[in-house]
Amino acid sequence: MNVDLHMGFDSILAFKVQHAATEPSLSALGLVAEWAGVNGLSLSSREDWHETALATVKRWSEELNLKVSLRVTPDADLRRLSYELKLDRVTLIPPRWVGPTVMGGLDAYHLTDQLRTTISQLREADIEVAVQVEPKTDLIKRLQRLDVDTVIFSTHALTASSAGDARRAHFSQLMDSVVLANRFGLKVAVNGGINLSAAEQLCRVAQVSEVHVDQSLSARAMLRGLDQAVTDFLKAMEKGRQNIL
């Protein structure tokens, strides 16, 4: 199974908003990312950068030949946004921000009745629906009933833990959730604090089909250029794929 690299631009947009900067151009960066081999781009619609996020994903969708995802909280008018922007994917995220980063996952226990109709409408319009959650097996059973396409597991707990028993425990919990999600027919992605070594480790899990990276990739791009930073991550992911568990 191949694994795709998706690049998030929240940290770059947060920098631009904080400093009222016009550069770097997100449209230009998206084009460079596509040339470098990124398979998808994502951007969150946060209140303080909502209009910029919408304009950016609209341009990406029109100009680039890769998957574009708008990340929104469940209270957004998903159907209206998706039809207006003609998105490839809508990703539902929790409203828990630490700086430019969304932390953790949605409380899926409260989502079933609230979102089932909207998700069905999006699916009928050929728009993929993804949900970011913590890697807990009991949540996966609820997501199956929501009829989502993709589950994006938050890996912050794993990537923030040091080597040893704690990290092994987090990895084991992630593995259990990944296997169950795959058994239910859900596409599996991972997101949260992923650097090169974490990307390699996570790509050893055969069922993981997407790796989502934001700050680590953006920071590396500042040192090595975006094209080389993407290449570094793709090489790490390929190395992991060569040693599948």
Q: Identify the CA nearest to 147 among candidates 135, 172, 130.
A: 130
Give the model's pLDDT for residue 2.
87
Give the model's pLDDT for residue 36.
95
Q: Please indicate whether residue 101 or residue 154 has the higher confidence score (pLDDT).
A: 154
Q: Please indicate whether residue 116 or residue 113 has the higher confidence score (pLDDT).
A: 116
Residues 223-234 have a mean pLDDT of: 95
Residues 6+ apart with CB under 8 A from 186: 140, 143, 144, 148, 149, 150, 151
Q: Please indicate whether residue 183 or residue 100 has the higher confidence score (pLDDT).
A: 183
Structure tokens at 143: 């997501």
Q: Identify the CA nearest to 50 among candidates 86, 83, 14, 80.
A: 14
Give the model's pLDDT for residue 138.
85
Residues 196-214 have a mean pLDDT of: 96
Give the model's pLDDT for residue 1.
55
pLDDT at 114 over 80: no
> DSSP H helical segments within 64-211, as ranges?
78-85, 112-124, 137-146, 156-160, 165-183, 196-202
Residues 72-81 have a mean pLDDT of: 82
Instruction: Categorize the per-residue pLDDT at 14 as very low, low, confident or very high, splitting at 50, 70 and 90.
Output: very high
Highest mean predicted confidence (pLDDT) among 97-111, 153-167, 183-197: 183-197
pLDDT digits (tens, 9 = 90+) for 21-58: 888 899 999 999 999 999 999 999 988 888 999 999 99
In whole angstroms, give the CA distance from residue 39 to residue 225.
18
Q: What residue ranges do the domains of the chain occupy?
A: 4-241
pLDDT at 11 over 80: yes
CATH number of 4-241, picked from 1.10.645.10, 3.40.50.10680, 3.20.20.70, 3.20.20.80: 3.20.20.70
Average pLDDT of the residues of the chain: 90
Give the model's pLDDT for residue 190.
97
Q: Of 48-52, 161-165, 239-243, which range is least confident?
A: 161-165
pLDDT digits (tens, 9 = 90+) for 120-148: 878 888 889 999 999 998 888 888 788 88
Question: What pTM does this model have?
Answer: 0.94
